[in-house]
Amino acid sequence: MNETNLTFIGGGNMAGSLIGGLIADGWDPHRITVSDPDPQQLERLGQRFGITTRQDNQAAATGADIVVLAVKPQATGPVASELAGLLARQHSLVISIAAGIRTSALRHWIGEHTPVVRCMPNTPALVQSGATALYATASVTAPQRDNAETILRAVGLTLWLDDEAQMDAVTALSGSGPAYFFLFMEALQKAGCALGLPEPAARLLTLQTALGAAKMALESAEEPATLRQRVTSPGGTTERAIQAFQQQNFDELVLRALEAAAARSAELADQFGKQ
């Protein structure tokens, strides 16, 4: 992998997280280039990682084996169209981490035969604990799939999809999912304070409980339902709380929330694809 030249178009938080993870995994920083219109951001990235920086996208992408489009969704069309000729001549792999941009739109902008991998990372990637779903077009080779997976795995786990239509569900579940857990943690903390706990204690107990539950679920071969049942003693405090959730149709509420998020994801994909 150290022989692969990698360019990031866009030097925001997600690009910075990926660059940091890759270098920590042994990727040669001299083979990484990033372009961004903000000279101060480029200076920060250059000083932090020792990578090459450019303000011009064409210059940054020249000679790149892999180009990661890490710009805002509304900017993806113009940026991709600008690079189309260069990417075709170089046969570069294009990895898009722009939310809501379908591969059909990307191929329209950069050429039908350009290999494209679409990714949906989530914000915990910023602390190397992300979850990323990937979808590859038919022109992506097996080595290119491996390269794409290596790049996204630098910030967490990766999962390949066979059907791009599943990306809307991924967006609803893991893409937006961190906010759902933050919302629940916020509610737990408020409830703890309402029951008489000092705010710092309620916050610390909430965060550590969330971390511990996630760690138990990740490290166990059991389903979450089984883990829940194991800590729910008949007639105990946990059972009473679970019953209160279920009486409010908790599962149905979660389903409606994800359906709304998935529908909005599809709407945005339609909107961005018309650029």
- Quick count: other Cβ atoms within 10 Å of Cβ 244? 10
pLDDT of residue 2: 64
φ/ψ of residue 66, rounded to 5: -130, 135
**pLDDT of 274 above 80:** no
According to DSSP, the β-strands at 116-120 and 130-136 are: antiparallel
Same domain, 61 and 181: no
Sign, CA dihedral 242-244-247-249, equals negative
Per-residue pLDDT tens for 27-44? 999 999 999 999 999 999
- Tell me how far the alpha carbon of residue 18 is from its chain's centroid: 10
- End residue of a domain, out of 124, 151, 170: 170
Pair (147, 43) in one structural domain:
yes
Identify the bridge partners of residue 54 per DSSP, sorted by sequence position: 35
Cβ atoms of 39 and 55 closer than 8 Å: yes
Mean pLDDT of the chain: 94
In a domain, residue 1? The reply is no
Q: What is the CATH number of the domain that holds 55?
A: 3.40.50.720
* 6 backbone dihedrals φ, ψ, rounded to 5°: -125, 130
Same domain for 128 and 260, yes or no, is no
Range of the domain at 64: 6-170
Domain end among 170, 192, 220: 170
Confidence of residue 272 (pLDDT cuts 50, 70, 90): confident
275 lies in some domain: no
Does 274 map to a domain? Answer: no
Q: Classify strands 32-35 and 52-54 as parallel, antiparallel or unpaired.
A: parallel
Q: How far apart are CA 270 and CA 264, in angstroms?
A: 10
Give the CATH number, domain containing residue 180. Answer: 1.10.3730.10
Do 181 and 94 share a structural domain? no
The last residue of a domain, from among 131, 150, 170 = 170
The string of pLDDT tens digits covering residues 135-153 is: 999 999 999 999 999 999 9
**Are 127 and 144 members of one domain?**
yes
Same domain, 29 and 122: yes
Taking CA atoms, 109 is separated from 84, 112, 266, in Å, by: 7, 8, 19
The DSSP code for 222 is S
Across 57-66, average pLDDT:
96
